[in-house]
């Protein structure tokens, strides 16, 4: 393992720093449910909670006697309290189209949509709706309109395939689908209708609402309605009462990859989630009234839910949404967006940073980035080199730069530097300390704590607001995945190191889940897609390091009798994955082998495949694969090496 800069302390001029001891001392006083109950009082509840934490572990419930509404917190509150004409969203299309929406404009749009959902579709609290939309202003609007009625929504990333969409519609029991005609990507129009038609053939819905971003490309049929028609006859000043929901009422379901073929529907509550977002916006991002907040993720992922839509809107900030990729039409485009809107807080992924740092510095130097104040990254470990580039070239050494660790299941940031609370010296690449109210540990397989510097599993040792409630329709899986490995503690699935100062460094996934450009993909999911190809008998997928994306999938494929390896077949296999899952999941390489190395119990030795592919020595085989003898592993290794030359 490469040495991590455990002892490199970076301070930023103009920011007040505290020593780790001070942080940890103050932090130790926050580790009670009552601490969170106090934070919760900051929110505008309809009924303020007096109870902090209840439930039957691991089914925890936060703020059970509180009542609130997310649409109210993000809109009505601001319209009533002095932010009526403040910009809520700057939206920029890849083609240069710009839309600026104030809080009042959003409020009106959301009310009209809520009215139509209620009166035209008959939606009511607890119903489910699937959303398959690209990055357009109507996406947050429909999320907030559904939340206004207590309707549970499930956003499906618009880059997913028809199959992935159909699975999610079925699993969540969504009655309706909300989509758009398409979007721009690298100058091309990407159309969504074909995927939607295929998906709704497999998983029928009562009606499809289509927002027209591109215009004139959707073939409207019986059962479809355009966004414009849907609210055309709903007056501009329509008011729909935001329904007070219980704190534990499900706000949304968001599907994420696990170690089995079937994605998990992560269920988030309303009250706990709202409190965590409010807290992290302040502690982690140091949000202030005139901040312009740009989280450059897609709303289809949890990062976008929490830090494009709900978080910044709850705090009444101005949020930025940009449709396009970082390097088209040129690699200066994102920095031009920072200049254009005077972005003060910027949040992106290490993948994007590594991509952009490969281009000449002039692309970032050309733009005025002096408004930037706080920078963070998320989604995967940030390597020190990328951290330095972000700190020096983007932040000009003026902004604290952090790597916020969290996951779909946690709802919001868990481990981070906290410039808005107490700021400890930065270290290039670390995640930092757990935020107030959150406790983490790095443990060995037997559950005891690892020593400083020793790699172990990252666990969260206390429940926290914003945590997932369960896996949709599968309480058993919720328990098994997160609470069984280390009873009483939440298992994250990540490897991490705690250094001597107590800083946490998350290293990557410990389970059979990959992290491709910050997107979680289960190896099993990709394998299941590959075996759909008629020529394939068996497949094993592993993640291998990639300079830009962090990790990419490589597939080892055993063909059926009668099929010969060929370049054509490789391409077909890749296309199958693109079709069934998503372009993100397409293997970088397809390697044909005559058999897959397996343990006696039939488990594929993925780490061995990875070693062979990377031309690495097998190394220590005693811990290489569960349930396999050293001999077995070595034999399989030699066989594979022989096969691949
Ligand atoms: C996995 C969760 C929540 C944001 C987007 C990803 C990895 C996330 C970091 C970080 C190292 C990180 C972990 C985690 N991860 N942030 N700052 N440093 N690793 O959400 O799709 O649920 O993936 O992303 O491996 O388990 P997600």
Q: What is the pLDDT of residues 254-299, one digit of tens each?
A: 999 877 768 899 999 999 999 999 999 999 999 999 999 999 999 9
Q: Is residue 396 assigned to a domain? A: no
Instruction: Identify the residues whose C-beta falls under 6 Å from ligand 1.
Output: 256, 302-303, 378-381, 403-408, 431, 492-494, 506, 508-509, 515, 518, 520
Q: Is residue 492 assigned to a domain? A: no
C-alpha 359/C-alpha 330 separation (Å) is 10
Please report, for residues 27, 179, 244, 389, the alpha-carbon distance to residue 423 in angstroms, rounded to integers and kept in the order given.
12, 42, 37, 21
Q: How confident is the model at residue 629 (pLDDT cuts 50, 70, 90)?
A: low
Q: Is residue 550 assigned to a domain? A: yes
Label residues 360-379 b or e (16+ Cβ within 10 Å = b).
eeebbeebebeebbbbbbbb
C-alpha 23/C-alpha 504 separation (Å) is 14
The pLDDT value recorded for residue 16 is 97
What number of helices (H) and strands (E) belong to the chain?
A: 21, 32
What confidence tens digit (pLDDT) does each residue in 44-62 have? 999 999 999 999 999 999 9
Cis peptide, bond prior to residue 541, ω within 30 of zero: no
Average pLDDT over residues 102-131: 98
108 Cα: distance to centroid of ligand 1 (angstroms): 35
The helix or strand, by DSSP H or E, that contains position 361, with its residue range, turns out to be none
CB count in 10 Å sphere of residue 580:
19
* Domain carrying residue 541: 512-640
Residue 558 belongs to domain with CATH number: 3.30.300.30
Q: Is residue 561 assigned to a domain? A: yes
pLDDT of 611 higher than 90: no
Q: Is residue 522 assigned to a domain? A: yes
pLDDT of 331 higher than 80: yes
Q: What is the mean pLDDT of the chain?
A: 94
pLDDT cut 70: percent of the chain above it? 97
The pLDDT value recorded for residue 1 is 41
Please tell me the total count of domains within the chain: 1
Q: How confident is the model at residue 620 (pLDDT cuts 50, 70, 90)?
A: low
pLDDT of 95 higher than 60: yes
Contacts of residue 635, defined as CB under 8 A and 6 or more positions apart, other chains included, come to none
Per the structure block, which two tokens stand in for 596? 């897959």
What residue owns the CA closest to ligand 1's atom 12? 380
Pocket test for ligand 1, best of 266, 380, 511 (most atoms within 8 A of CB): 380
Q: Is residue 583 assigned to a domain? A: yes
pLDDT of 102 higher than 60: yes
Q: Is residue 267 assigned to a domain? A: no
Q: Is residue 318 assigned to a domain? A: no
pLDDT of 454 higher than 90: yes
Average pLDDT over residues 8-20: 97
C-alpha 625/C-alpha 60 separation (Å) is 35
**Structure letter (DSSP) for residue 560:** P
Query: Which residue, chain included where needed, has tokens 């455990």?
Result: 6
Which atom of ligand 1 is nearest the CA belonging to 513? 25
What residue owns the CA closest to ligand 1's atom 23? 407
The pLDDT value recorded for residue 538 is 86
What residue owns the CA closest to ligand 1's atom 27? 407
Average pLDDT over residues 142-171: 96
pLDDT of 473 higher than 60: yes
Pocket test for ligand 1, best of 301, 407, 435 (most atoms within 8 A of CB): 407
């Amino acid at each position: 393992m490469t040495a991590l800069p455990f002892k490199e302390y970076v301070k930023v001029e103009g920011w007040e720093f505290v020593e780790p001891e001070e942080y940890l001392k103050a932090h130790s006083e926050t580790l009670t449910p009552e601490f969170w109950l106090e934070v919760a009082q900051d929110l505008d509840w309809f009924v303020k909670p007096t109870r902090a934490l209840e439930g039957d572990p691991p089914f925890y419930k936060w703020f059970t006697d509180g009542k609130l509404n997310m649409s109210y917190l993000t809109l009505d509150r601001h319209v009533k309290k002095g932010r009526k004409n403040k910009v809520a969203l700057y939206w920029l299309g890849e083609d240069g189209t710009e839309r600026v929406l104030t809080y009042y404009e959003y409020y009106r749009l959301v009310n009209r949509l809520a009215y139509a959902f209620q009166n035209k579709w008959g939606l009511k609290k607890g119903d489910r709706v699937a959303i398959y939309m690209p990055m357009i202003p109507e996406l947050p609007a429909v999320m907030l309109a559904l939340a206004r009625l207590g309707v549970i929504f499930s956003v499906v990333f618009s880059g997913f395939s028809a199959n992935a969409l159909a699975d999610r519609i079925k699993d969540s029991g969504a009655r309706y689908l909300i989509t758009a005609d398409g979007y721009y990507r690298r100058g091309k129009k990407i159309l969504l209708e074909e995927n939607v038609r295929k998906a709704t053939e497999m998983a029928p819905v009562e009606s499809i609402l289509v927002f027209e971003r591109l215009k004139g490309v959707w073939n409207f049929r019986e059962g479809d309605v355009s966004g414009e028609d849907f609210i055309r006859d709903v007056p501009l000043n329509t008011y729909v009462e935001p329904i007070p929901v219980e704190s534990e009422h499900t706000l949304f379901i968001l599907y994420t990859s696990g170690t089995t073929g079937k994605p998990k529907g992560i269920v988030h509550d309303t009250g706990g989630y709202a409190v965590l977002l409010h807290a992290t916006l302040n502690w982690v991002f140091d949000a202030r009234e005139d901040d312009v907040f740009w989280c450059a993720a897609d709303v289809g992922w949890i990062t976008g839910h929490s830090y494009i839509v709900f978080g910044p809107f709850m705090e009444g900030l101005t949020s930025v949404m940009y449709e396009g990729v970082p390097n088209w039409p040129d690699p200066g485009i994102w920095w031009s967006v920072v200049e254009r809107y005077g972005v003060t807080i910027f949040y992106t992924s290490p993948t994007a940073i590594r991509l952009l740092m490969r281009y000449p510095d002039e692309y970032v130097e050309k733009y005025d980035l002096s408004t930037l104040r706080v920078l963070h990254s998320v989604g995967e470990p940030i390597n020190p080199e990328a951290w330095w580039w972000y700190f020096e070239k983007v932040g000009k050494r003026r902004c604290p730069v952090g790597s916020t660790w969290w996951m779909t299941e946690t709802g919001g940031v868990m481990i981070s530097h906290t410039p808005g609370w107490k700021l400890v010296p930065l270290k290039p690449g670390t995640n930092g300390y757990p935020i107030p109210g959150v406790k983490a540990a790095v443990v060995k397989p037997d559950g005891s704590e690892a020593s400083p510097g020793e790699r172990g599993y990252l666990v969260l040792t206390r429940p926290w607001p914003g945590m997932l409630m369960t896996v949709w329709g599968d309480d058993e899986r919720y328990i098994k995945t997160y609470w069984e490995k280390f009873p009483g503690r939440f298992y994250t699935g990540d490897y991490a190191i705690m250094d001597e100062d107590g800083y946490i460094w998350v290293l990557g996934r410990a389970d059979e889940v990959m992290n491709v450009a910050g997107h979680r993909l289960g190896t099993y999911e990709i394998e299941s897609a590959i075996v759909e190809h008629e020529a394939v008998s068996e497949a094993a997928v592993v993640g291998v390091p990639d300079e830009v994306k962090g990790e990419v999938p490589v597939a080892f494929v055993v063909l059926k009798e009668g099929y010969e390896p060929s370049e054509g077949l490789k391409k077909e296999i890749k296309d199958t994955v693109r079709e069934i899952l998503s372009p993100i999941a397409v293997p970088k390489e397809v390697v044909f082998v005559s058999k897959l190395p397996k343990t006696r119990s039939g488990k594929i030795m993925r780490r061995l495949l990875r070693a062979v592919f990377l031309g690495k020595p097998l190394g220590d085989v005693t811990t290489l694969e569960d349930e396999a003898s050293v001999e077995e592993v070595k034999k399989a290794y030699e066989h594979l090496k022989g096969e691949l030359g």
